[in-house]
Amino acid sequence: MQLPKAEEQLMKYLWKLEKAFMKDLLDAFPEPKPATTTVATLLKRMKDKGFVDYTLYGKSREYYPLIKKTDYFSNHVNSLIKNFFNDSASQFASFFTSETDMSASELEELKQIVDQELKKKQK
CA 31 to CA 50: how far, in whole Å?
Answer: 28
Lowest-pLDDT choice from 33-37, 67-71, 106-110:
106-110
The average confidence (pLDDT) of the chain is 92
Q: CATH second-level architecture of 5-65?
A: Orthogonal Bundle (1.10)
pLDDT tens-digit readout, 5-54? 999 999 999 999 999 999 999 999 999 999 999 999 999 999 999 999 99
Query: What pTM did the predictor assign?
Result: 0.74
> Comparing C-alpha atoms, which of 73, 65, 74 is closest to residue 25?
65
CA 45 → CA 3, 60, 67, distances in Å? 10, 18, 14
